[in-house]
């Protein structure tokens, strides 16, 4: 069993979560561009310098790196699974690990990342990093080089399917995203037969 974080670390995590929660609330109510860091600080009852201590930029309030959880889960799925099966299983693990409130917050962030022009460039940078890391992990699982064209192709196909569902999810927040990701990757796994 892992050690429980100390009081200081728990307090920092709570402060960080509160700042982000208030930022997302204000972005939803006022719009991203109209919300200032000062307003976020006031809502979270901290100084603006505290906001910047936890989040270097305003964009960072939205861009949360959830990829480490995804990558850890991808490394832990059974090695006999093919690349699409492995990513499918990984997404199930990631979605199952989220509490309903975390899932709703995640959806709110996703919507901002895909609809606010100021956030799109940073989102694209994150996605590009994810693609490279996923490609490396899928190559390692297959005992192949990440530069192998077949690894590139399967990674691109997986990411393409995920992005297509992501864009639909942002437009339709009531979509059962976990089920749709699973169905879409199942369709890819079956060779995209129509």
For CATH 1.10.10.60, list the domain ranges present in the chain. Answer: 7-56
* Dist. CA 138–CA 144, nearest whole Å: 8
Give per-residue pLDDT as tens, 90-111.
999 988 988 888 888 777 887 8
CA 109 to chain centre: 9
Domain limits, CATH 1.10.357.10, in the chain: 67-189
Architecture of the domain whose range is 67-189: Orthogonal Bundle (1.10)
Cβ neighbors of 114 (< 8 A, separation 6 or more) are 120, 123, 166, 167, 170
Q: At 72, list the tokens.
A: 């850890």
Q: Can you spell out the DSSP letters for 83-102?
A: HHHHHHHHHHHHHHHS-HHH
pTM score: 0.76
- CATH code for the structural domain at 7-56: 1.10.10.60
pLDDT digits (tens, 9 = 90+) for 20-51: 889 988 988 998 889 999 999 999 999 999 99
Residue whose C-alpha is closest to residue 166's, from 124, 121, 137, 118: 124
């Amino acid at each position: 069993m892992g050690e429980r974080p100390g009081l200081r670390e728990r307090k920092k995590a709570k402060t960080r979560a509160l700042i982000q929660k208030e930022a997302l609330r204000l972005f939803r109510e006022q719009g991203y561009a109209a919300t200032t860091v000062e307003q976020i600080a006031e809502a979270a009852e901290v100084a603006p310098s505290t906001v910047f201590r936890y989040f270097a930029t305003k964009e960072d309030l939205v861009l949360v790196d959830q990829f480490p959880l995804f990558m850890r889960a991808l490394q832990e799925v059974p090695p006999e699974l093919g690349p699409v099966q492995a990513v499918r299983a990984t997404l199930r693990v990631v979605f199952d690990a989220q509490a309903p409130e975390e899932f709703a917050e995640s959806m709110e962030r996703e919507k901002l990342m895909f609809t606010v022009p100021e956030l799109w460039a940073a989102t694209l940078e994150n996605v590009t990093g994810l693609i490279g890391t996923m490609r490396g992990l899928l190559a390692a699982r297959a005992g192949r080089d990440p530069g192998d064209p077949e690894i590139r192709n399967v990674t691109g196909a997986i990411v393409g399917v995920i992005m297509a569902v992501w864009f639909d999810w942002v437009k339709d927040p009531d979509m059962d995203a976990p089920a749709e990701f699973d169905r879409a990757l199942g369709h890819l796994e079956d060779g995209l037969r129509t």
